[in-house]
């Protein structure tokens, strides 16, 4: 049988096409099978190279994270947070204890091929205690005398002084403690607290009343209160051209003094002071004096000669600032002046030269002073009041 060449060519193409199709299908099947097998092997290997770490903590704290999926050889940090008043007691990994840093952190390296279990336990801190004890007391009783409390507690100690006494001094562990009332609220800050209390007798209070007349002052003044046994000092200051007149304690005159101290006061006292015109200063400063006459005397005070000087127009004024003026026939000089009451009689000092005041009243002033072997006596009269 003769097959035409065209038909034969078509049959050949068909056979080749089917053969290629079968071969391609076979190749694709083999490739997919191989790829699937490789991928499955990689996943199995990944599952073997990673583990799960689970952590738990008891009711006295928390731990984070609770669960971590990590690769073999990697490190994972866990943080423990103890509850208030608690601390980390123990941490184990698969039953084996591990250490925890001061910041409550521990790390786990995934070194096992199997999953790991972490257990954390926390404990409550034991309360620190303080023993507070009264060691020394003076003139009083204290309750309680001894107590054991948790540190940080405030304990009230009640002090009862004996009749007529008061709390004078309190120390806690040898340090001064401020006293506000008979109840001492003391903070238990140390393991051992020592309390010492002393009481003193209540001292009486006395009234010191004062009275000061015009033309002067006293210090202190007014109504004063002094504790029994204390001292108090008064000072008295006359105004210019005045002097003390009287000084009285409870109505009884005492010697004049510019400073008076009452010692060991045990009763109420009344202090009175009065002032008067200074018999010397007032006359000196408020009168213009005119030289009337001069006497020359020997050492015995006997008059050897005298002369009248009223016609010289010699006048003298004493100013309160310690300067005087002497005017003679219209010419003026300014000598300094002061008085010295320590001499008898009182001395008038003019330019450091002493003159004994023999007579001084509102009409006449007489003073004397040495001049070589002789003594000069000057007599001044009241020219006028200033």
pLDDT by 10s per residue, the chain, length 386: 444 555 545 555 554 555 554 445 444 444 444 444 444 444 444 455 889 999 999 999 999 999 999 998 899 999 999 998 899 999 999 999 998 877 899 998 888 788 999 999 999 888 889 999 998 888 999 999 999 998 889 999 999 999 989 999 999 999 999 998 999 999 999 999 999 999 998 889 999 999 999 999 999 999 999 999 999 999 999 998 888 999 999 999 999 999 999 999 999 999 999 999 888 999 999 999 999 999 999 988 899 999 998 888 899 999 988 999 999 988 999 999 999 988 989 999 999 999 999 999 999 999 999 988 899 999 999 999 98
- Total domains in the chain come to 5
Say yes or no: 90 and 30 in one domain: no
Residue 258 CA to residue 235 CA, distance in Å, equals 6
Say yes or no: 86 and 169 in one domain: no
Q: What's the pTM?
A: 0.44
Say yes or no: 65 and 156 in one domain: no
Helix (H, G, I), strand (E, B) or coil at 182: coil
Chosen domain end from 201, 225, 254:
201
Say yes or no: 354 and 376 in one domain: yes
Do β-strands 314-318 and 324-328 pair in parallel, antiparallel, or remain unpaired? antiparallel
Chosen domain end from 249, 277, 305:
277
Chosen domain end from 277, 310, 330:
277
Residue 244 CA to residue 217 CA, distance in Å, equals 10
The answer to whether residues 130 and 190 touch, using CB atoms and an 8 Å cutoff, is: yes
Residue 231 CA to residue 262 CA, distance in Å, equals 6
Give the structural domain span for 232: 205-277
């Amino acid at each position: 049988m003769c097959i035409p060449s065209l038909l034969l060519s078509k049959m050949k193409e068909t056979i080749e096409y089917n053969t290629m199709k079968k071969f391609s299908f076979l190749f694709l099947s083999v490739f997919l099978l191989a790829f699937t097998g490789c991928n499955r092997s990689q996943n199995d290997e990944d599952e073997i190279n990673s583990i799960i770490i689970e952590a738990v903590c008891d009711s006295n704290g928390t731990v984070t994270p609770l669960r971590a999926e990590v690769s073999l050889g990697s490190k994972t940090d866990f943080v423990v947070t103890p509850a208030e008043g608690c601390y980390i007691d123990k941490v184990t990994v698969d039953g084996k204890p591990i250490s925890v840093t001061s910041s409550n952190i521990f790390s786990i390296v995934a070194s096992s091929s199997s999953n790991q279990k972490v257990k954390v336990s926390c404990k409550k801190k034991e309360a620190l205690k303080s023993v507070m004890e009264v060691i020394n007391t003076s003139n009083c009783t204290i309750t309680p005398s001894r107590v054991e409390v948790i540190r940080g507690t405030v304990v009230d100690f009640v002090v009862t002084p004996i009749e007529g006494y008061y709390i004078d001094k309190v120390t806690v562990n040898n340090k001064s403690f401020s006293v506000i009332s008979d109840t001492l609220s003391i903070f238990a800050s140390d393991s051992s607290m020592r309390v010492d209390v002393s009481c003193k007798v209540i001292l009486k209070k006395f009234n010191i009343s004062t009275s000061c007349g015009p033309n002067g002052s006293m210090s202190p003044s007014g109504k004063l209160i002094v504790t029994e046994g204390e001292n108090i000092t008064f000072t008295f200051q006359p105004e210019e051209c005045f002097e003390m007149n009287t000084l009285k304690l409870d109505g009884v005159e005492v010697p004049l003094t510019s400073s008076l101290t009452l010692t060991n006061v045990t009763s109420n006292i009344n202090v009175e002071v009065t002032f008067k015109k200074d018999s010397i200063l007032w006359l000196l400063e408020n009168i213009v004096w005119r030289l009337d006459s001069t006497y020359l005397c020997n050492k015995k005070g006997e008059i050897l000669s005298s002369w009248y000087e009223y016609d010289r127009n010699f006048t003298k004024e004493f100013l309160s600032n310690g300067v005087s003026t002497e005017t003679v026939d219209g010419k003026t000089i300014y000598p300094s002046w002061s008085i010295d009451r320590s001499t008898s009689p009182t001395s008038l000092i003019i330019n450091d030269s002493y003159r004994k005041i023999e007579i001084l009243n509102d009409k006449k002033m007489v003073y004397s002073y040495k001049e070589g072997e002789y003594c000069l006596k000057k007599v001044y009269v009241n020219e006028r009041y200033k």
